[in-house]
Amino acid sequence: MSDHLMNTYMRQPVTFTKGEGVWLWDTAGEKYLDALAGVAVNGLGHAHPKLVAAISEQAAKLIHVSNIYHIAEQDALADKLCAISGMDKVFFCNSGCEANEASIKLARLYGHNKGIGNPEIIVMDKSFHGRTMATLSATGNRKVQAGFEPLVSGFIRVPYDDVDAVKQVASSNPNVVAILVEPVQGEGGINIPKDSSAYLETLRQICDAHGWLLMVDEVQTGIGRTGTWFAYQHTAIVPDVMSLAKGLGSGVPIGACLAKGKAAEVFVYGKHGSTFGGNPLACAASLATLAAIEDEGLCAHAEKMGDLIRLGFQSAFADTPAVKVVRNAGLMIGIELDRPCGELVKMALEAKLLINVTADKVVRLLPPLVIKQDEAHELVKRLSEVIKAYLKQ
């Protein structure tokens, strides 16, 4: 291990050398079940043959040019993303925080264009939007912000899943230009609105009534994760702006900010840019990812496997009151305990299983979309044993 890395991560004592599907192997040749997928990135699992071929072929032709020129792979990816989302235009970048930076800049510019000189954006408690200055300021978690003050101004925070709080802001604040919301909160603890369709649909109505933009952060929920291409597709709404990253490139860094209608016309020449964003390699990886998800029916599969895993845990923990609730939106699965449980990550690792704990008490699972039924059963078996052993201590 190198002493030359900044201490930004508490790393687990393991190094992986190769993977296949939901499986990973470490330097000692030990095999692990990956129920985290690089935090919702490796939707196709590891070393998917079609992804490997697409990346290899593209690398041999052209990795990068510049957005100063037309990029055929970027044109094709923009067309594909708009076709599956109903959005009109795309800006490509390299990560989730950059996609949200683009959304925030777009909303502010939209406000200025309407004559609002001090535009504000409504954001949620327990949200996570990234680690850049604007996105950590939008994030509803003090731990992410502490030490980085002064924060970027122009965000108004309300509780998640509380439309009355949004209506209250609407009645008293003429500077609001947009709402930024995760359809399901990932880092915040797999928080699913009580009635997810009604929540987004009511936010849509409020935005329409006030001329605000509805901006969904689908960095974690997007690209098949919840059982549809995008989580808002479980509802009747289409957003004005959507940010994507994580699963979009299967590990080759790429992010995207999509916009529709009036929002799609806000960015004009010179207003935003990115050196790497949407380069030929990243776009080829993303096109191959989307094609594989479509060809293999992975959206519907994710929904089926997610429900199967939730039911498996619900029955495993039926007589375990310390497990308060198991909830899921497709393959975003949360197991909420009645106590902090960060130690479970290490215990699971010893049981050759990769998981994550977020919001102190919530075990978060984000397995590859390609997880098979027997692998889903194996995940439930390994993890319920680990959690039960932990609770006995």
Ligand X SMILES: *Cc1c(COP(=O)(O)O)cnc(C)c1O
By CB under 6 A, name the binding residues for ligand X.
Answer: 95-97, 100, 128-130, 182, 186-187, 217, 219-220, 245-246
Identify which of residues 245 and 326 has a Cβ nearer to ligand X in the complex. Answer: 245
Minimum distance, C-beta of residue 93 to ligand X, in the bound complex (Å): 9
What is the number of the residue whose Cβ is closest to ligand X?
96
- H helix and E strand count, the chain: 12, 15
Q: How far is the CB of 107 from ligand X (least distance, A)?
A: 15
Q: What is the DSSP string of 326-346?
A: EEEETTEEEEEESS--TTHHH
Q: Which positions ≥6 away from 259 have C-beta within 8 Å?
A: 87, 88, 89, 90, 91, 106, 240, 241, 242, 266, 267
Question: Of 97 and 263, which CB lies nearer to ligand X in the complex structure?
Answer: 97
| Residue among 170 and 216 whose Cβ is closer to ligand X | 216
Q: Is 121 helix (H, G, I), strand (E, B) or coil?
A: strand
Closest separation in Å from C-beta 286 to ligand X: 14
Question: What's the closest the beta carbon of residue 161 comes to ligand X, in angstroms?
Answer: 16
Instruction: Check the CA dihedral 180-185-186-188 and report its sign.
Output: positive
Look at residue 280 and give its three-state secondary structure.
helix
Which one-letter amino acid corresponds to residue 347? M
CB of 217 to ligand X, least distance (A): 5
Pick 215 or 323: Cβ nearer ligand X: 215
Nearer to ligand X, 186 or 367 (CB): 186
Residue among 74 and 220 whose Cβ is closer to ligand X: 220
Which of 84, 141, 127 has its CA nearest to residue 293? 84
Residue closer to ligand X, measured from CB, 26 or 125: 125
User: CA separation (Å) from 279 to 58, 74, 91, 97, 132?
Assistant: 11, 7, 12, 18, 22
Nearest approach, Cβ of residue 70 and ligand X (Å) = 26
- Contacting residues for 255 by C-beta, under 8 A, at least 6 apart: 92, 93, 94, 95, 96, 98, 99, 219, 243, 244, 245, 248, 277
Shortest distance, CB of residue 96 to ligand X, whole angstroms?
2
H/E stretch holding 19 reads strand 16-20
Nearest to 35 by CA among 388, 385, 379, 386: 379
